[in-house]
Amino acid sequence: MKGLFSKIWLKLRTHRWKSLGLLGMMILWLFCLPKPLFEDPTSTVIHSREGVMLGAKIAPDGQWRFPKMDSVPHRFERSIVMFEDEYFYTHPGFNPVSMAKALWQNLTTEKRRGGSTITQQVIRLARKNKKRSYGEKIIELFMATRMEAGYSKDEILSYYSSNAPFGGNVVGLETAAWRYFGIPSHHLSWGQSAALAVLPNAPSLVFPGKNESILKAKRDRLLGKLLQKGIIDETTHELSLAEPLPGKPFPLPQQAPHLLEKLNRKSSGNQMITTLDIGLQRKLNAIAKEYHFSLSQNEINNLALLLLDIESREVLAYVGNAPTGKDHGNYVDILDKPRSTGSILKPFLYASALDGGDILPRGLLIDVPTVINGYNPTNFDNTFQGAVPADQALSRSLNIPAVRMLRSYGLDRFHNRLQEMNLRKINKSPDHYGLSLILGGAESSLLEITNAYAGMASTLNFFNSSSSEYRNGEFREPLFLKNTEVAEQKTRKEPEVIDAGAIYKTFEALREVNRPIGEQNWNYFSSSQAIAWKTGTSFGFKDAWAVGVTSKYAIGVWVGNADGEGRPGLTGIQAAAPILFEILEELPRSEWFAVPYDEMINTSVCMKSGNLAGLYCDDAKEEYIPKNGIKTSPCTYHQKVFLTKDESNRVNSSCYPLAEMKQKNWFALSPVQEYYYSNSHPEYRPLPPFKNDCIREGEQLMDFIFPKKNETILLANDFKENHTEVIFKLAHRTPDTQVYWYLNDSFIGATNTFHELAYEPLPGNYILTVVDQEGNEVRQNIEIGKASL
């Protein structure tokens, strides 16, 4: 009895261990495949919004290996199945008949034959092509059956096509199609597909000038098999036989190399669909090549171009640098590098001042020699207008009115406004920049500047559209990718920065900027389109800018040298503006911005001064101005004057009968302003002088042009170490008047009509006094120092 129980227990225990063994085998089978199946690094590949490849970056291991394909093209699928694994769609991962034939041939002959299915080859590739042995074959078979259970046939074929070797450092079908034929895999012909289908079996066959006969024989046999199976017809077969074989690898497309590098830093090894328009990108690349050739003749070697969609803020074209050489930093992506802004920030100040109610669109601004705490700005052409309408000061890019406007508006206030517009590269304190901030004392990138211009256009479009696509008041960051899941894109939602009325008036002023040679009469051609645009030139002719917006597009152009070398002629209007208008011609026509009436107010404006009409303005008209413009002061340039009958002199009750006085409203500037204003405005009439016997109170007849108040005069030495002369300048309202000059009460000379006096003073502090022939006097403290070497 005891022996019987022992036998029963032995059988149960044996059956138990067999069950556990089967269970263990099943668990091993279930989890035998690694996840992910392939961990090899892949190339970063970017495509246009239409799906056209823009460029690719080689994988970190030095292989051209594109990310896994989503699907396999039909021609290659039929070719590879017919060549490698004819029963691919019916077997469970291995083919017993093929394995038996291969085993028999390997045992009985010296020739070696493989019996692996495509599924087994995928496993071998995933296991890094370990040394072939019967044991390794059993492992491959075991894992292949698991793969067949967990993946569809299409997925298995996709894994194979994405990881099979195609010769050299080319891995994967898509990479091979581009490297050997210069086209995407879904454009491969039957002959090309057949040639690539035979390569993974012997990838060393691809070597220019060698093994062509072997490769051709393999391809032609496959094409014959495809014909025999009825997959292709006779005509296709003949045409395919005549197709050339793959040879020397083609270079991959490089339509946007700098954007490729930018996206690779954020999301390497991925395939990304960008926002770039392939047609526009190619056009801008051609424009960059054309202008680089001409600019390089003047040793200007770099440029950057950007095109944005106003509504979506998508980047439509991105040229990070000119097609120059390594010696000139062709690898540098200048689009996002900080450069001196020149005058390109002036529209932001003008719009901000309009929005804040500090100025009116055509209000007169002072343009005379100016010194502010030792800072002495000058206009680009070294001339002065005396007084100039604000919109003309902007369109003509006058520096002195801009500096004076910034001082009036507030440096801190404007700096904060720039931050609200996402100009993050202007990242130092306002005091660091000072008033030079508006003339290029700060640095920003073409990407930020162009996007800020686009932000103003987007805000203006919002008020003229019922579409919810427009986002009110957002100076959001530009978008580079259509698929934001691949690389996170930031969309900043900000409160309204500048109101639409101020932006519209700013764009109206920028619309009048003089275009470069060949574009002056643009408005006479129906094919031309309006654009609000601005140029900028940095100190030392190192950076040339041109940025413009239509209602649909924002265009940004920068020209210069990456190493900061300045060149003559490197100005916004000469170097950058022609490129901007070349790009504009390639864009679809855009309608001009609609007037945002709801963001403006209709009021009476003085036509002469551009300010709100005052009591003494003779010519006033109704005009739409930004809504906060109503806060500005009425015109102070017009005053009521009393004249003699012939209007030759001003009079008052102390010297002329009231009944005979003639009353008139008169437009009058200060002496210094009218000194310069009258040079370019022959119609200007200065105030008539008072009659000699009239009592005058509080009238400013004269003022110093040089030196200005609080200005220190520095004496330079000539070649003989002698101090150079100082030329004192004075503006006097009355023509043909003689004035007498005194330095610390010592008479130094007299002038008549043109009041400029040359004198050679010694360093020191003085009181400069001028007295005219009528006894009127003006004086000013001055400091004269010696210039240091």
> Which structure tokens are listed for 633?
């002061």
**Helical H segments across 602-747, by residue range:** 671-680
**Average pLDDT estimate for 322-344:** 93
In the prediction, which pLDDT does 474 show?
A: 63
Least-confidence region, from 67-71, 327-331, 371-375, 682-686: 371-375
In the prediction, which pLDDT does 759 show?
A: 87
Nearest to 706 by CA among 449, 264, 369: 369
Alpha carbon distance 72, 87 (integer Å): 18
pLDDT band at residue 719 using 50, 70 and 90 as cut-offs:
very low
Alpha carbon distance 272, 46 (integer Å): 5
**Average pLDDT estimate for 75-102:** 83
In the prediction, which pLDDT does 493 show?
A: 46
For residue 55, give the 3-state DSSP assignment: strand
Indicate whether 533 pLDDT > 80: yes
Higher pLDDT, 110 or 290: 290
Asked if 84 is an active-site residue, the reply is yes
Higher pLDDT, 789 or 700: 700
Higher pLDDT, 134 or 462: 462
How many residues can be counted in the chain? 789
Cis peptide before 688 (omega within 30 of 0): no
CA distances (Å), 28 to each of 119, 141, 152, 283, 510, in order? 19, 14, 21, 57, 73
In the prediction, which pLDDT does 773 show?
A: 84
Least-confidence region, from 554-563, 588-597, 640-649, 705-714: 705-714
In the prediction, which pLDDT does 496 show?
A: 76
Q: Are strands 443-444 and 532-537 parallel, antiparallel or unpaired?
A: unpaired
**Average pLDDT estimate for 475-484:** 82
Least-confidence region, from 195-204, 458-467, 712-721: 712-721
In the prediction, which pLDDT does 468 show?
A: 45
Q: Which string of DSSP letters, residue by residue, matches 177-222?
A: HHHHHSS-GGG--HHHHHHHHTTTTSGGG-BTTBSHHHHHHHHHHH
**Helical H segments across 267-396, by residue range:** 278-296, 346-355, 390-395
Higher pLDDT, 787 or 604: 604
Q: Of 43, 48, 77, 84, which one is the catalytic site residue?
A: 84
**Average pLDDT estimate for 402-416:** 95
Highest mean pLDDT among 38-42, 215-219, 313-317: 313-317
In the prediction, which pLDDT does 491 show?
A: 45
In the prediction, which pLDDT does 706 show?
A: 86
Cis peptide before 377 (omega within 30 of 0): no
Q: pLDDT for 666-704, tens place per residue?
A: 999 998 999 999 988 999 999 888 888 887 776 778 888
Q: Of 116, 161, 185, 343, which one is the catalytic site residue?
A: 343
Alpha carbon distance 415, 398 (integer Å): 20
Asked if 343 is an active-site residue, the reply is yes
> Which structure tokens are listed for 16?
């138990």
**Average pLDDT estimate for 430-450:** 95
Alpha carbon distance 556, 561 (integer Å): 17
7 within 8 A of 24, measured Cβ to Cβ: no
Indicate whether 389 pLDDT > 70: yes
| CB atoms inside a 10 Å sphere around CB 450 | 28
Indicate whether 408 pLDDT > 50: yes
**Average pLDDT estimate for 131-155:** 82
| CB atoms inside a 10 Å sphere around CB 233 | 11
581 within 8 A of 574, measured Cβ to Cβ: no
In the prediction, which pLDDT does 106 show?
A: 59
**Phi, psi for residue 767 in degrees, rounded to 5:** -115, 115
pLDDT band at residue 260 using 50, 70 and 90 as cut-offs:
very high
**Average pLDDT estimate for 196-224:** 84
**Average pLDDT estimate for 149-176:** 92
Least-confidence region, from 55-69, 411-425, 480-494: 480-494
Indicate whether 265 pLDDT > 90: yes
Highest mean pLDDT among 125-129, 149-153, 370-374, 388-392: 388-392
In the prediction, which pLDDT does 373 show?
A: 77
Alpha carbon distance 116, 97 (integer Å): 11
